Amino acid sequence: MTNLPVPATVMVKRPATKNRLGSFLIFLVVSLYFLVPLAATFYWSLRGEKDVLGFEAYRKLFADTNFLPAFSESILNAVATIVLSLIIVVPTAYWVTLRLPKLRPIVEFITLLPFVIPAIVLVFGIIRLYSRPPLLLTATYDSSRFLLICVYVALSFPYMFRAVDNGLRAIDVRTLTEAAQSLGASWPTILFKVIFPNLRVALLSGALLTFAIVIGELTIALYMAQHTLGPYMANLTRSKVYEPSAMAIVAFAITWAAMGIIDFVGRGASRRAQMADTD
């Protein structure tokens, strides 16, 4: 009887155990790197009362008369930033995808500028430009706040444009637009009934990333003398011991909640995409 050659696939042994151990070690180190400071901050935030672990620092934080105004102002700024950013970015990205694809590199470059211009340079440039007529926007608190929102809109561009652009690429926007047009739809109908509903996840991702940036932003708000959460946290660090840690945990929880929402909504979309692929 002749010996049949053993197929190569059977002969090759996968070093599965070694790989798994290596992966686990990397995971462990990275987890510790992130979790230890977080756990320490959380532990510190629980020591607001002498010799007792509790939520005293959180109670004091929420009881502080400056906290809620700063928090609500930051939230309102974030919402205004998101709305303005969507109004600017979505039609731009849509039109670039549909009609002006040659402009894409230029638009991408512009939207990436906030990454290369340091916040401190940006804020001094803005203060210099808008502190004298005819563009005097730093005269009052409200006009400065409007200016701050505009700066945040610019800061949100890299995230918002990328998220919307990816969303538009994923849905074959050109063909969907043409299909809707051939069925008699006008531009507003196409945008509101076909494009926006299919960009739900992308818009939400962009919006929540923008939200996270605005909520935690310090440098620009500080130099523009705004009473938002960033400067409030900075002040808190100078004057209190445990409350800044409680504040950090609250900010962290808000960010994670935002990420959770993106993940939850995105999971539904990716499951649909998966089902379509396996079809």
Partner 1 sequence: MSYLSISHITKQFGDTVVVDDFNLDIEKGEFVSFLGPSGCGKTTTLRMVAGFEIPTSGKILLDGADITNKAPNQRNVGMIFQSYALFPNMTVAQNIGFGLSVRKESKELIAQRVDEMISLINLEKHAHKYPYQLSGGQQQRVSLARALAIHPQVLLLDEPLSALDAKIRISLRAEIRAIQRKLGITAIFVTHDQEEALSISDRIVVMNSGLMEQVGTPFEIYNFPTTVFSANFVGTLNNASAEVVNPAKSLIAINGVQFESAVDLKGRKKGDKVRVAIRPERLSFASEQKKANVVDAVIENITFLGSVVRIQIKIGDTKFNMDTFNNPFLELPKIGSKEQVTCSREAVLVLDE
- Residues near partner 1, by CB under 8 A: 171-172, 175-176, 178-186, 189, 193-194, 197-198, 200, 272-273, 275-276, 279
Q: Which is nearer to partner 1, 116 or 276 (CB)?
A: 276
At closest approach, how far in Å is the CB of 264 from partner 1?
18
Distance CA 211, CA 208 (A): 5
Q: Which is nearer to partner 1, 194 or 233 (CB)?
A: 194
Q: Which is nearer to partner 1, 186 or 239 (CB)?
A: 186
Distance CA 230, CA 220 (A): 9
At closest approach, how far in Å is the CB of 279 from partner 1?
6
Please write down the long-range contacts of 31-39, taking CB distance under 8 Å and 24 or more positions apart.
38/252
At closest approach, how far in Å is the CB of 180 from partner 1?
7
Tokens describing residue 54:
């509790």
Owner of token pair 């063909």: 175
Tokens describing residue 136:
């005097």
> Do you find a cis peptide bond into 134, omega within 30 degrees of 0?
yes
At closest approach, how far in Å is the CB of 178 from partner 1?
6
Q: Which is nearer to partner 1, 15 or 184 (CB)?
A: 184
Distance CA 145, CA 73 (A): 10
At closest approach, how far in Å is the CB of 205 from partner 1?
17
Burial class of residue 244 (count of CB atoms within 10 Å of its CB; 0-12, 13-18, 19+): buried
Residue pair 229/72 in contact (Cβ under 8 Å)? The answer is: no
Interior angle at CA 192, CA 191 and CA 197, nearest 5: 100
CB-based contacts of 17, cutoff 8 Å, min separation 6: none
Q: Which is nearer to partner 1, 88 or 176 (CB)?
A: 176
Interior angle at CA 168, CA 167 and CA 171, nearest 5: 90
At closest approach, how far in Å is the CB of 194 from partner 1?
5
At closest approach, how far in Å is the CB of 188 from partner 1?
11
